[in-house]
A and B are shown apart, each in its own frame.
Chain A
């Protein structure tokens, strides 16, 4: 398998009135061809910032730096604005959280579906529309021919998200970044859209970075998972390893919050992780999760933990020395 995306030590800083908000604090990511990587974490953990940084869509005032940010051998950080525009949309595309507002209300769906491929690949309008109809059909949009002349306000949220998915696939990208694409949809539609993304991803062999706060979603579709907390990856590994052997206290906490049919007693209180996410302004000493952690020791306040690999073959990594120690003992 070849590597589509490799990111080392990605940082995103946002200047605010109260100081620099360090939204992303040194993230390593890698995505193989045709793989589905899920980034999971709660609101404000920096997962959307990460996706925007990968697409190069952050506002100008945001500072993005990384030791490495390579897309299929191309260094994204050193690309000129024009070349970056050539990669964006053509070889990597994005599906957004809000289908209701992510389409331009003033242009027909056909216009918006086709403009990218006509620009990037120089297709004629007819050829582009042919592909748009094919992809709308693949994305489960009924009457695809009719849709091209329709406007976004004539479609429901679920249909608009299907149009967004078709739009993301127009140029056959190598990588799609999906930023909470099902969060704004009804639960029944959510399941359909998830299945659709998974199916199309496997059919077209596209790598997907799927961003979500929903572990249920992760369990259904991910090949690999990266759990984010306070701007850092705290645990990453294959989906099976993460769900069967969660090793960071945060991951364990997240998983214990999900009620399991048959195991969770009816009427019992659902688990929650006590406390709140620390402020991301300025530097954080020690472990960012220690204030909410059951296993925190004195060392957690002073020693900043690093991501440690502890099961060599499957590349399961965790950012918690306490857990790593106990895991080693268990082995």
Chain B
């Protein structure tokens, strides 16, 4: 198991380095940086001056390593647009996005897995149909519309929860529900399919032949095997939510990473874009690593590879 974790860790680090190269290149492929920083009305001398001042005249490999060394120390330079350092911007936004993502994934998991199991056990009954309907609605409904509906009902009419902002934990409930409902259907359906397949397997028949209780058959013998693909999906979805929750963040005026990325892209604020891409990628890699380790704990056959 330790060997497995070590190997996976090496792979993860390899992927992270690749991503760092891509995210570094992103900046340089966008055109001549010195010209971009100097602005359109500068002279050729001024551009050269900036090129030397920012170290852009050095070989690209050297530039990459000096960038990587500062990136590892969480120094991503200054934003072109804001007066803050990139790290200040990110450390302000990242907790909001992480809180939202974790809450949403928590809600999605706690609904998706029990509902998926129930739908599989009660296959072709009204419970199964209801679960399917909930999933289809979640997949079909645009998330901004659902978010707005939540605001209208719970904030505007009932005054139970705030409509936007991020000052207390109460502010995160509605956006987490909206985002969680968006992530839930895929997990629910995967759980249901997995459970149906596993419940029809030979080893479940063996477990039944031993006279075990239905609880033991379903939760001990079936769920553990059925949930393996769901773990991988959950990791991907959380990674997706970190970068792609921009719609929900806009609707609830949460100043998260998604909005920062959006603002930075529209303003050509490359250092910020670069840092956001790198951080989201590193989180993504870390999540996949965690998912791999969880799956290896669930299924011993995965530990060998």
Main secondary structure of the interface of B (DSSP, over half): helix
Contact flag A105-B210 (CB < 8 Å), given A57-B205, A96-B205, A98-B202: no
User: Judging by beta carbons under 8 Å apart, are A153 and B211 in contact?
Assistant: no
Least Cβ–Cβ distance between A133 and chain B, in angstroms: 18
Choose among B202, B213, B298, B301 the residue that contacts A85 (Cβ–Cβ < 8 A): B213
Tally B residues with Cβ within 8 Å of A: 21
Residues 1-29 (chain B) with a chain A CB within 8 angstroms: none
Max chain A Cβ within 10 angstroms of own Cβ: one of B201, B206, B299: B206
Is there a chain A Cβ closer than 8 Å to B91's Cβ? Answer: no
Is there a chain B Cβ closer than 8 Å to A161's Cβ? Answer: no
Alpha-carbon distance A120/B211, docked complex (angstroms):
8
User: Judging by beta carbons under 8 Å apart, are A101 and B211 in contact?
Assistant: no
The number of inter-chain residue pairs (CB within 8 angstroms) is 73
Alpha-carbon distance A134/B212, docked complex (angstroms):
22
A residues in contact with B211, CB < 8 Å? 84-90, 116, 119-120
Alpha-carbon distance A228/B203, docked complex (angstroms):
27
Is there a chain A Cβ closer than 8 Å to B221's Cβ? Answer: yes
Is there a chain B Cβ closer than 8 Å to A115's Cβ? Answer: yes
Alpha-carbon distance A90/B212, docked complex (angstroms):
10
A residues in contact with B300, CB < 8 Å? 105-106, 151, 153
| Closest residue on chain A to residue B301 by CB atoms | A153
Choose among B201, B205, B210, B221 the residue that contacts A89 (Cβ–Cβ < 8 A): B210
Max chain B Cβ within 10 angstroms of own Cβ: one of A89, A103, A106: A106
User: Judging by beta carbons under 8 Å apart, are B225 and A104 in contact?
Assistant: yes
Is there a chain A Cβ closer than 8 Å to B216's Cβ? Answer: yes
A residues whose Cβ falls under 8 Å from a Cβ of B = 55, 57, 84-90, 93-94, 96, 98, 101-107, 115-116, 119-120, 151, 153, 164, 167
B residues whose Cβ falls under 8 Å from a Cβ of A = 201-203, 205-213, 216, 220-221, 224-225, 298-301
Not counting A96-B206, A106-B299, a sample of 14 additional A-B residue pairs whose C-beta atoms are within 8 angstroms of each other reads A57-B205, A85-B211, A86-B211, A88-B208, A89-B209, A90-B211, A101-B203, A102-B205, A106-B298, A107-B220, A119-B210, A153-B300, A167-B206, A167-B210
